[in-house]
Structure 1
Amino acid sequence: MSRMHAQVGSGAMTKSELIEKLHKQQPHLKTDDVELAVKLVLDAMTAALANHERIEVRGFGSFSIHYRASRTGRNPRTGSAVELPAKHVPHFRPGKELRAMVTDVVPLEDSEAAE
């Protein structure tokens, strides 16, 4: 099963752009206060995931840690086998509301819909 990555719009939103957007929506707040709030939320989420805690934001989705067993991979340049160690990786599962919004906003191209 191949993964499809669709880029819609102008690309990824950076943390700075998020802070700017939030400040424009809440102009009564100082930019420094918005920046601090974003930093505190991200720091709290990072700390929770580092402690293998699950984070659930209703309607948006949940963040958790998944275990990846060790495996043999391939070096894409040489094709030679490479042993990859076991590790824990962050995982995001979108909530129903987010999935519905993305489905409604991002139409599939005809070639993607046929696959």
Structure 2
Amino acid sequence: MTKADLIESVYLTTGFSKKESAAIVEMVFDLMKNTLETGEKIKIAGFGNFVVKEKASRRGRNPQTGDEIEISARKILTFKPSQVLKASINGEDE
């Protein structure tokens, strides 16, 4: 599913215009992005959790030359699905 598919789904479900539907989807994505940028986690009941985690710097190896390199510290985004979502995907009744 793409962003365009989400916009189309909002358009068909809500009856808003395509332009309004696109604005709604963009606002939700912007809100999620801004929340995650500040380091807060997003919990959506029945769906899952989005969490930004810190990865420490570590030693790595350049696969072409075999030289050791330092991989810098960075932030990563993780998603953990809820039990309800897992059950739904697996066709189980919750």
Asked whether the two chains share a fold, i.e. TM above 0.5, the reply is yes
Tell me the matched-pair count.
Answer: 91
Q: Does 1:29 align with 2:39?
A: no
- Determine helix, strand or coil for the equivalent of 2:59: strand
Q: C-alpha root-mean-square deviation of aligned residues, in Å?
A: 1.7
In percent, how many aligned pairs have the same letter?
A: 33
Q: Does 1:43 align with 2:17?
A: no
Q: How high is the TM-score relative to the length of structure 2?
A: 0.85
Task: In structure 1, list runs of 5 or more residues that go unmatched.
Answer: 1-12, 106-115
When residues 101 and 79 of structure 1 are mapped into structure 2, their CA distance, relative to the original with a 3 A threshold, is farther
Distance 1:35 1:23 in 2: 8
Q: How high is the TM-score relative to the length of structure 1?
A: 0.71
Q: Which has the higher strand share?
A: 2
Select the residue among 63, 66, 71 that pairs with 2:58.
Answer: 71
Structure 2 partner of 1:60: 47
Distance 2:21 2:62 in 1: 43
